[in-house]
Amino acid sequence: MNFNTKKYPILSFANSVKNLRLLPTTKLPQLCKELRKYLLDVISISHGHLASGLGVVEITVALHYIYNTPFDNLLWDIGHQSYPHKILTGRAKKIISIRKKNGLHPFPHREESQYDILSVGHASTSISAGLGLSVGAKKEGKNRKTICIIGDGAITAGMAFEAMNHAGQIQPDLLVILNDNQMSISKNTGALNKHLKFLRKFKKNNFFLTQSIFENLGFEYLGPFDGHNVLNLINIFKKIKVNKGIFLLHLVTKKGKGYLPAELDPIKWHSVPQSLCLSSKNVSYSDVFGSWLCEVARYDKKLIAITPAMCEGSGMLNFSRLFPNQYFDVAIAEQHAVTFAAGLAIAGYKPVVSIYSTFLQRAYDQIIHDVAFQKLSILFAIDRAGVVGNDGPTHQGIFDLAYLRCIPGIIIMTPSNENECRQMLYTGYMYKGGPSFVRYPKGNGIGVSLAPMNLIPLGKSVIKRIGYKIAILNFGVLLKEALKVANNLNTTLVDMRFVKPLDTSILLKVSSEYEFLVTVEEGVISGGAGSSVNEFIMMNKILVPVLNIGLPDVFLAQGSQKEIRHDYQLDAEGMEKKIFSWLSDF
């Protein structure tokens, strides 16, 4: 993409923060227009997060204009908002590569730029990290400022409140900017959202307001102000910068500002994935979950579905409209979502927690203590499990099998297609002995028909092909690729389906009948499904070589799912190479 001076005369000059600060303030409104236009042009080609960045253009320009970044600490919570920040901090020409293999990181990333103080991906971390930075700055004694820009959706999480509680106690030199656009990814919910509406209403009507919740927590509350008036923001930041203290600046913005379709539908335009431009006849796994949820809810009023602010992404939009009394969006609060489900289960209801693999990590303690330890019957529908792709290392769902497998008394299922996913959801929902987990990937299935719901025998695998010498044990959606390998090498192929409980009878059978075993999974090898096979083989003193195919001990960078699977040899070609290389040592 050509970043030319004719189309972007001011932005092309302000290609660094140093140059930005050379501009007279009268040029800043035009700079904001060009920045917004450039962002639209970039996203139309590269795809990626759009609406959030459009909403913080003026805030970004004003912050870099007034504060001495990167000496001053500027933290974005979360990185959906950071595209304008990347453009203004020397990455304008590279922004076209964002979310692509070997391109710019989707979110602020410390290894990418000195202006990215904190690497982020998950929400609600900025105030905690900012508090630590501000304490460090005070000890340093160089008058370094710390600014956290947090969305109104992210501030609802427990971690943000924990940080504000601590900040109110120690009173650091800290500015928290609340970007209030009434949206996270989905529409905001909760009592804090109502409180923000209350603050906006009283400001609009010029009523005298005594205190906000933030003042009660020890902050000096300022606002609400228009977050799209760049000249007014310049004046506000000038006044705050020369004062020490703990401030919360409430700025009202519009997600998708400057692009009418995004303003009217900020949920749809939160991100512009390349998949929107591609057609597929196959249904997505998220839609399989959503339709299954509606089907069960029609006859079971005890079903309660819970999501931590991911209604659309998890395929729950229709359910939320059809069954509003059985649906809870708890906002960005994964820990609360899990323990809330525990309370519902104790009360006699049948909770279903829909959550991305990467976000389930945030509720690990709650899964162990509040659910598994108490043997509560809760179904966890783990979306975006395995290689996710363009959102990069913070969003890859590759750790869930490893961190769940060690928890006593749980069921873990890995469907290999959309119909199997449907049957496993039903099986987990009907299981009464404790929590069950069904992990499925981002994207579409392989096109199999959906059958009526039936229970799957717990811990029972399915033999897909009979061959010689080698038995491939597949866990999950790589079955299609594993079948190609099995056909090419004339091996046996078993779809294991359950990581816990393992089908020990099939393991005893294949370990006695075949010379080599190969496990396949789309997750980390360390502690994953293949490791459970290794443990069984060793415990039973079986002398058979086992090759584990999965992901190595690394954080996966961004790229398409196809690219990442190819790079880590999780496609048929790569699996064959790994097997041949391994066999050459025997």
Q: Which residues are annotated as a binding site for Mg(2+)?
A: 152, 181
Helices (DSSP H) in 156-266: which residue ranges? 158-170, 191-204, 213-216, 230-241, 260-264
Q: Of all helices (H) and strands (E), which one includes residue 32?
A: helix 28-46
Secondary structure element (H or E) that encloses residue 331, with its range: none
Paired strand residues for 329: 307
Instruction: Give Cβ neighbours of residue 516 (< 8 Å, ≥ 6 apart).
Output: 469, 470, 471, 544, 545, 546, 547, 583, 586
Q: CA nearest 484: which of 418, 576, 559, 579? A: 576
State how far the Cα of 440 lies from the Cα of 502, in Å rounded to an integer: 18
d(CA 409, CA 354): 20
Two structure tokens written together for 448: 């199999």
Q: What are phi and psi of 344, to 5 degrees?
A: -65, -40
For the chain, helix (H) and strand (E) counts, in that order, are 24, 19
Whether 362 sits among the annotated catalytic residues: the reply is yes
Is residue 307 within 8 A of residue 337, CB to CB? The reply is yes
Give the whole-angstrom CA distance, residue 497 versus residue 403: 18
Distance CA 547, CA 581 (A): 11
* Three-state secondary structure of 252-285: ECCCCCCCHHHHHCCCHHHEECHHHHCCCCCCEH
Q: Residue ranges for the binding site?
A: 80, 121-123, 152-154, 181, 259, 334
- Binding site for thiamine diphosphate: which residues? 80, 121-123, 153-154, 181, 259, 334
The helix/strand/coil state of 216 is helix
Measured between alpha carbons, how far is 19 from 467 in angstroms, rounded to an integer?
Answer: 67
The active-site residue out of 91, 254, 255, 405 is 255
Are the beta carbons of 64 and 73 closer than 8 angstroms? no
CA distance 188 to 86: 26
Q: Which of 34, 58, 334, 522 is catalytic?
A: 334
Contacts of 494 (CB under 8 A, 6+ apart): 461, 462, 463, 464, 471, 472, 473, 474, 506, 510
Q: How far is 67 from 144, CA to CA, in rounded Å?
A: 10
Q: Closest by alpha carbon to 565, among 521, 517, 519?
A: 521
Contact 319, 328 (CB under 8 A): no
Is-contact 121 129, C-beta < 8 A?
no
Strand, coil or helix: 95 = helix
Contact 305, 383 (CB under 8 A): no
Active-site hit among 350, 362, 565, 578: 362
Rounded-to-integer distance, Cα 50 and Cα 435, Å? 37
Total residue count of the chain as it appears in this document: 586
The SS3 of residue 207 is: coil
Catalytic residues: 255, 334, 362
